Amino acid sequence: MLSRLQLGDFRNYRQADLEFSPSLNVILGDNGSGKTSLLEAVYFIGSGGRSFRGGRLSRLVRDGADAATLYAEVLSDEQLHRLGVRRTPGGIDAIKLDGQTPKALSEVASLLPVLALHPTSVELVFGASALRRRFMDWGMFHVEHQFMPLWRHASAALKQRNALLRSGAINPRELGFWDQQLAESSDRIEGLRRAYLSALQDGLKRVMAVLSPELNVRIQLQTGLQKGETTQDALLRLRQDDIRRGFSQAGFHRSDIRIAIGDVVARDRVSRGQAKLIAYGLMLAQLPLISEAGKVCTLLVDDLAAELDEEHRNRLLGYLAGTGHQTLITALDEPSWAAVVNDNNALKTVESKMFHVEHGRLRPLSPTGSE
């Protein structure tokens, strides 16, 4: 979990220094004050340098500054780690973890599992399959030791096979070799994903019973293979077409999660508000699995009220209050947050810290709201 964060020239922050609560942290501020940017900074560290909002990453650097700097103290496995990152508009140009220089920020992503619950999370239901693959692979990266080496091996095999397909001079024995490498590693990844989704389905049932009991959400791995077919069979079946197209159409990189309400695919059935509850439910269902792996997640919750009616918002807040994971949540001002707490008994007993942000300047508030 995140203990401390210092920002320099990140978005509209010149300088900020915050010490977080291990449970609930409420970030208050008007529109455009810098709430989302703060969550974005945390996400940047935990996701290996990504942002959860669209747009160019070069914009993370404050206008007119040369580089953004982030320093984080992260508690993982009861050890405090110190991480420093510098990002210029061109990319990350320096990383230090406990005095050492890792090759990439993604190498330290396992220290800080972050999940961002924000308005565009609905894309998990409505968007492209790549988002759902990234979603399940994120969970497996954190809970399944075998996953990352397997994924690297499969990615290397896919790259080699695609390069060969495009080379114009295909040696059938070489192609057969990469078929086998890609097929074997894909089948093993799919096996792990299937087991992961099955565990997730159990958790999802419990979360949805709180968030939205009327939605009977079912998830299932879709491999794109025909009935009884192995990945090796599919690669052979699609070989000529793969050669024509110059890429591999079967393998771990083509899987998807089928999200259904009863028997109907969710994207054809649900409203945006319902899709948001399903997406949040899927993310929150990962938390018990993260806990079982001995890790604590940092949840970034932005613009919670958007598209949710009061009842569902309160159900969600009630659930968030009891996860046992660290949460950073945004709200407009103290009266609106006080009203939320007033409606939600579970929030009253959670140990929390509040911060106020105005034009990129942050200050902590005492629990009563006065400075």
Ligand X SMILES: Nc1ncnc2c1ncn2[C@@H]1O[C@H](COP(=O)(O)OP(=O)(O)OP(=O)(O)O)[C@@H](O)[C@H]1O
Residues that constitute the known binding site for ATP = 29-36
State which residue, 87 or 353, has the beta carbon closest to ligand X: 87
370 Cβ neighbours under 8 A, 6+ residues apart: none
Q: Give the count of beta carbons closer than 10 Å to the beta carbon of residue 207.
A: 25
**Residue 101 CB neighbour total at 10 angstroms:** 8
CB closer to ligand X out of 36 and 327: 36
CA dihedral of residues 255, 258, 197, 278 (deg, nearest 10): 130
The answer for residues whose C-beta is within 8 angstroms of residue 154's C-beta and 6 or more apart is 182, 185, 186, 189, 251, 252, 253
* First vs last C-alpha separation in the chain: 26
Q: Which residues bind ligand X (CB under 6 A)?
A: 11-12, 29, 31-37, 59, 61-63
Annotated binding residues: 29-36
Token pair listed for 165? 């397909």
For the chain, what is the largest distance between any 2 Cα atoms, rounded to a whole number of angstroms? 73
What angle in degrees, to the nearest 10, is found between the helix axes of 310-321 and 272-285? 10
- Least Cβ distance, residue 222 to ligand X (angstroms): 35
Q: Which of 236, 233, 215, 214 shows the shortest CA–CA distance to 225? A: 233
Question: What phi and psi values does residue 225 have, to the nearest 5 degrees?
Answer: -85, 150
Smallest distance from ligand X to CB 33, Å: 4
Of 38 and 235, the one with the shorter C-beta distance to ligand X is 38
Residues in the chain: 371
Token couple for 264: 């109907």
For residues 29 and 139, which CB has a smaller minimum distance to ligand X in the complex?
29
The minimum distance between CB 55 and ligand X, in angstroms, equals 9
Minimum Å gap between C-beta 365 and ligand X is 16
Residue 173: CB partners within 8 Å, gap ≥ 6?
A: none
Please, what is the minimum distance in Å from the beta carbon of residue 357 to ligand X?
A: 7
- Give the shortest CB-53-to-ligand X separation in angstroms: 8
* Minimum separation from the CB atom of position 127 to ligand X (A): 21
- Please identify, using beta-carbon distances, which residue of 67 and 112 lies nearer to ligand X: 67
Residue 153 to residues 78, 143, 149, 207, 284: CA-CA distances in angstroms? Answer: 31, 18, 6, 34, 29
CB-nearer residue toward ligand X: 51 or 323: 51
Question: Whose Cβ is closer to ligand X: residue 245's or residue 359's?
Answer: 359
Amino acid at position 130, single letter = A
Nearest residue to 204 via CA among 256, 154, 153, 259? 259
